[in-house]
Structure 1
Amino acid sequence: MINKYPLWKYLLILMVVAMGVIYALPNLYPDDPAVQLAPQRGSVQITERHLSQVTRALDNANIEYFGQDIENNNGIIRFKSDDDQLKAKTLIQEALGEDFVVALNLAPTTPQWLMDLGAGPMKLGLDLRGGVHFLMEVDMKEALSQRNEVYISEMKTLLRSERLRYRRISREEGTIRVLFTNEEYLSKAKTVIRSEFPDFVQTEKVEGENLYLDLKLSDKAARDIEDYAVKQNLTTLRNRVNELGVSEPLVQRQGRNRIVIELPGVQDTAAAKRILGATANLEFRLEAASDAGTLDTEEYPFRDSASRRATLERDIIITGNSVSNAQSSFDENSQPQVNIDLDTQGGKLMNRATRNNIRRRMAVLFVEHKVKTRVIETEGEKIEQRIPYVEKHIISLATIQSALGNSFRITGLDSPSESSELALLLRAGSLAAPIYFVEERTIGPSLGKENIELGINSVQIGMAFVVLFMLAYYRLFGLIANVALSANLILLAALMSMMSATLTLPGIAGIVLTLGMAVDANVLIFSRIKEEMQNGASPQMAIHAGFERAFVTIFDANLTTLLVAVILFAVGTGPVKGFAVTLSLGIITSMFTAIMVTRALVNVTHGGRQLKKLSI
């Protein structure tokens, strides 16, 4: 019998639509405006005392709130309106002081039974939900400085292996200066260094009895190092963003030495800044011998006690750049530690250094590049001046009991949160050069409210026009198409929620376009049915031929559009990807609803009946 589905196909369609309804439901429960409280340092705990302090300040200011909670050392206080949320943010920050970060946030209201099924609302992009926007600048001068330090270490090794005696190697204003004892050594060193380090321009200088060989990187080599620093920092920042678990982030280069980062849904700027801007690294050095010269040693304080100090060799065994994996855990005394795996080259260097220095002590030096901001007044204008500086502290100084290999552990950390953060930074990769925040913007949820309302209105208006047109032109079949269109929107919302896809303002434009494309397939089918009726076919045969013969046209049209959407997603960024996601998913759901759901409804209403005419 034509125009009849087997029972299993009806059940399959019902099951798909029912699942779509369940996973689309969380989108009907909007998030509550909230304020998040977080400590500046991981060692500080949010307690009920802090919440009481905040609620007293809110009560005194007559700001309505509800549902204060503490979860994962973060306090959440919910509000009934965005206006109350914005007023409360400033008030709470004043009440708690600078030791805490107070940030705008959105608290979920999805019922627990839906969350137990794995259902949750779709994520909103930066333009709808808000988030943080950072503009960061790479310190090019420090990038060259750090690279020159590596060159100095390599040159020392080279000159020693060639038995060319020198008094010292120093770095002055971007120039590496080597002081030799006589002209013969200087002449031989020039040849050796030119062979191994061709990127340096050499200049001889004589100052009294001192013979100097000045080495300066060529302009091209310097530009290459600077370009590498930006690219490496870009890669590292992307890895750190991935570790944060942010959906649809934007991390891209801007100009010669700047990087733009946008993190939708992230309102805790302190946590984001702490992870993204951290230039922490590790250096592994041997403790200096008692008779070592002052030019070959440096003294550093311990991190847990500034009064304790140790003298270390200047030569670095390895840095955090050699770390291939790092995981935080606890030692046998339940103290936090970081388990480290080195890459092949790092493992070789560590093994060689420790094998030849058993019973000597090795230090783990924690290196942080920081910046102080000072406001200076010039010609009546106040200008912020950034002063970069480096802090180095010893976090561990242990005796080498046996040769180490590719795996070992670091102890001496203050808290589990510190070990987790250090492991994350090492795992994501260290920055090739210090990076500083030039611009920082927190885009609150209230800023996206108007965009959401306008987007919903556009979907509603677009759907209303489509529904009215289909009812007026195709009557009963138009009603069937409208039911299928509603199912299409439900399935689209469910798919985006299940896939954790991010909805952006361009994505809403893709949904509006999907509305027209979804009924476009029905228009082709209904027009084909009309044509078959005009050619003398019976109503049942016209329905059968309309669906069968229009399928190829519908499939071809949607396939080409899907290919374009996939290409847009592959080569596009930001807003283009948001549009491509909703367009791609909309094509898939519209194919299902326009062909399967519409056909099932037509079969139920018209299949197996003696029809003389159709209401189409």
Structure 2
Amino acid sequence: MKTISWRPIAVIVVLLAAFVYVLPTLQMALEGKEEPTIWPYKQINLGLDLQGGMHLVLQVETEKAVENMIDRTVEELRAFVRQNRIRIGTLRKQAGDTIALTLTEPEKVAASRGLIANEFGDYNFSERTVDGTPTLLMTLKPEEVERVQRLAFEKALMKVRNRVDEYGAREPDIRPQGTDRIVVQLPGVIDAERARQEIGRTGNLEFKLVDEVNDIGEALRGNVPAGSEIRYFRKDDPDMAGRPILLRSTTLLTGEYLSEARVRFDPSTGQPYVSIRFNPQGSRIFARITEEHIHQRLAIVLDGEVYSAPTIQSKIVGEGMITGNFTDESARSLALVLREAFPTPVTILYEKTVGPSLGRDSIEKGLMSMLIGGVLVILLMVIYYRKAGLIADTALLMNILLIAGGLAAFSATLTLPGIAGIILTIGMAVDANVLIYERIREELRLGKTARAAVDAGFDRATLTILDANVTTLIAALVLFQFGSGPVKGFAVTLSLGVVASLFTALILSRTIFDVILSKRKVKALSI
């Protein structure tokens, strides 16, 4: 008895813990509640395919982050050469991530290059001569390109999570996919249109100068000047809706420098507007832009639509405003989007909505298949192994309890593939008992007593069972690490099932046998 005294205690503790974690889920199912009200306040979360909801795949245009950085560098370089009295001819962005700067003083090329290279260390420099004029080429370093794209993606992922939190979705699943995609799953009954607007709206804020030199009419006829582009005022603007406007292509400032966006009201008219505040770096850039372009119009562009294009009257430090005949609701929505604006454009690549009725059907069919599979396995074990089969069936039922408790304890999400993993586990759970029982039969045929046969059967089958289950567990962990949503759901239940199977086969079943053999002398086992 000394060798088995710890097993009953372990079995009682583990099964009791599993039942405690399953209890809140049972309460929710029986009482129809949306949240558990009993300790430990954890539940088995149902995935998108089981309770309905929305599935989005967002594409992050990380290359736009590099383009914006090049645009900012052009403006910063223009200010730098002016401050250092470096005489230049032209300064322009070329295709790709290269900036071309022509120098008009050949004798000062080396000195000018040294100054610029010291200030802009993220670029590689080369020289060439075009029509007798020295030209300095600045190309963004490959490692810097990778860093900018990675940071843009990480920021976009963080912004998506913040938006989903503010939207108020329950148990959302947000994860990266590759290096430029984000998968968002919002289980439950939700307003799909509102979710699409709040989460899928990119909030890509840009400040661009209005092209007041060229004719908008000529541009609309197809003759768009080089360095300019046609944009339109936002569709819900009561005065300017859909009107075209010609803008300079260069983005002077983006929303990544915003630190705050709040709704304010004009004291004279009572109309709402959105007040924006920049971080220190953004404040310096905005102050320089407004100082250099006084009496020019600066367009505020959000997601490709022009919200307003006011004339700059003076240098502005740190704070600006976006006006445009807003309602209270539209102003609050705009402020939310700006606060969590993406640093680069993000588009909805794929969208799918699963209705709750389809989810309920999936649950019913999954549970029915689990019930049928379980009943068949239970009957087979009883027919083939007689009373010992009842011990294996008891272990199987406890195995399902442990899986459910594990799902609740780790706040894991149960999906339809996860139910498939549980069904697979039902077969695997009795597989270990089959190995043990066949070993016990061999020992009995050799003439050993019931106690000796049971001890030898468990001892000799343990290593084989461990080998088989550990390799399966490793495969499940690999699936969880590298798989997508449905594959992860399968891997979670498979992993929990493997661990539970080891416990029920090697400890629970052994404990039941020990209790039976210790209370009375058993001459023959029903196996």
The corresponding residue for 2:61 is: 138
SS in 2 for 1:441: strand
Distance 1:503 1:580 in 2: 11
Alignment: residue pair count: 462
Deviation at 1:216, TM superposition (A): 8.5
The farther-off stretch of 114-123 and 131-140 is 131-140
**Retained in 2: the 8 A contact 1:143–1:229?**
yes
Answering whether residue 527 of structure 2 is matched by residue 611 of structure 1, we say: no
The corresponding residue for 1:471 is: 382
Deviation at 1:493, TM superposition (A): 1.7
Name the structure where strand makes up a greater proportion of residues: 1
The corresponding residue for 1:51 is: none
**Retained in 2: the 8 A contact 1:326–1:423?**
yes
Answering whether residue 80 of structure 2 is matched by residue 164 of structure 1, we say: no
SS in 2 for 1:565: helix
Deviation at 1:502, TM superposition (A): 2.0
Deviation at 1:233, TM superposition (A): 4.7
Change (3 A) 1:561 1:495: same
SS in 1 for 2:522: coil
Distance 2:523 2:517 in 1: 11
Deviation at 1:226, TM superposition (A): 8.6
Deviations 1:122-177 (A, max 9, x none): 2214476342234547396x657534421222221331244124588677999999
Distance 2:499 2:263 in 1: 45
The corresponding residue for 1:522 is: 433
Answering whether residue 505 of structure 2 is matched by residue 586 of structure 1, we say: no
Change (3 A) 1:456 1:190: farther
The corresponding residue for 1:565 is: 476
Deviations 1:503-531 (A, max 9, x none): 23332222122112211121222222222
Deviation at 1:539, TM superposition (A): 1.5
Letter aligned with residue 12 of structure 1? V
Q: For 1:259-298, list aligned pairs within 5 A.
A: 259=181, 261-265=183-187, 267=190, 268-281=192-205
**Retained in 2: the 8 A contact 1:279–1:368?**
no
Deviation at 1:613, TM superposition (A): 0.8
The corresponding residue for 1:252 is: 177
Distance 2:439 2:263 in 1: 67
SS in 2 for 1:607: helix
Of 343, 351, 361, the residue aligned with 1:431 is 343
Answering whether residue 44 of structure 2 is matched by residue 121 of structure 1, we say: yes
Deviation at 1:9, TM superposition (A): 4.4
Letter aligned with residue 124 of structure 1? G
The corresponding residue for 1:37 is: none
**Retained in 2: the 8 A contact 1:507–1:578?**
yes
**Retained in 1: the 8 A contact 2:203–2:337?**
no
Deviations 1:174-219 (A, max 9, x none): 9999999xx844885698469746578978589xxxx9x999887x
Of 161, 177, 182, the residue aligned with 1:242 is 161
Deviations 1:594-613 (A, max 9, x none): 23322333344443211111
The farther-off stretch of 494-503 and 1-10 is 1-10
Structure 1 length as normaliser, TM-score? 0.58
Answering whether residue 305 of structure 2 is matched by residue 389 of structure 1, we say: yes
Change (3 A) 1:179 1:117: closer
**Retained in 1: the 8 A contact 2:479–2:491?**
yes
Deviation at 1:228, TM superposition (A): 7.1
Deviation at 1:593, TM superposition (A): 2.0
SS in 2 for 1:537: coil
Change (3 A) 1:531 1:26: farther
The corresponding residue for 1:506 is: 417
Distance 1:248 1:541 in 2: 52
Answering whether residue 76 of structure 2 is matched by residue 154 of structure 1, we say: yes
Distance 2:47 2:39 in 1: 21
Deviation at 1:250, TM superposition (A): 5.1
**Retained in 1: the 8 A contact 2:24–2:39?**
no
Deviation at 1:488, TM superposition (A): 1.1
Letter aligned with residue 343 of structure 2? L
Deviation at 1:489, TM superposition (A): 0.9
Deviation at 1:478, TM superposition (A): 0.9
Deviation at 1:441, TM superposition (A): 3.4
The farther-off stretch of 146-155 and 245-254 is 245-254
The corresponding residue for 1:22 is: 23
Distance 2:42 2:76 in 1: 57
Deviation at 1:435, TM superposition (A): 3.1
Change (3 A) 1:398 1:422: farther
**Retained in 1: the 8 A contact 2:100–2:138?**
no
Letter aligned with residue 239 of structure 1? M
Change (3 A) 1:561 1:438: closer
Distance 2:322 2:106 in 1: 45
The farther-off stretch of 509-518 and 20-29 is 20-29
Change (3 A) 1:139 1:535: closer
SS in 2 for 1:482: helix
Q: For 1:248-397, list aligned pairs within 5 A.
A: 248-249=173-174, 251-252=176-177, 259=181, 261-265=183-187, 267=190, 268-281=192-205, 321=256, 368-370=301-303, 388-391=304-307
User: What is the identity percentage for the equivalent residue pairs of Structure 1 and Structure 2?
Assistant: 29
Of 430, 454, 457, the residue aligned with 1:543 is 454
Of 353, 362, 374, the residue aligned with 1:442 is 353
Deviation at 1:392, TM superposition (A): 6.0
- What residue ranges of structure 1 are gaps of 5+ in the alignment? 30-107, 284-305, 308-314, 355-364, 371-387
**Retained in 1: the 8 A contact 2:425–2:498?**
yes
**Retained in 1: the 8 A contact 2:46–2:413?**
yes
Distance 1:327 1:606 in 2: 74
Distance 1:269 1:588 in 2: 42
SS in 2 for 1:530: helix
Change (3 A) 1:497 1:341: farther
Distance 1:327 1:533 in 2: 79
Deviation at 1:559, TM superposition (A): 2.0
Deviation at 1:552, TM superposition (A): 3.1
Change (3 A) 1:391 1:525: same
SS in 2 for 1:119: coil
Deviation at 1:544, TM superposition (A): 3.2
**Retained in 2: the 8 A contact 1:510–1:579?**
yes
Change (3 A) 1:122 1:145: closer
Distance 1:423 1:250 in 2: 21
The corresponding residue for 1:67 is: none
Deviations 1:255-274 (A, max 9, x none): xxx74634241644433542
Distance 1:153 1:328 in 2: 28
Letter aligned with residue 516 of structure 1? G
The corresponding residue for 2:211 is: none
Letter aligned with residue 240 of structure 1? K
Deviation at 1:471, TM superposition (A): 0.7
**Retained in 2: the 8 A contact 1:119–1:498?**
yes
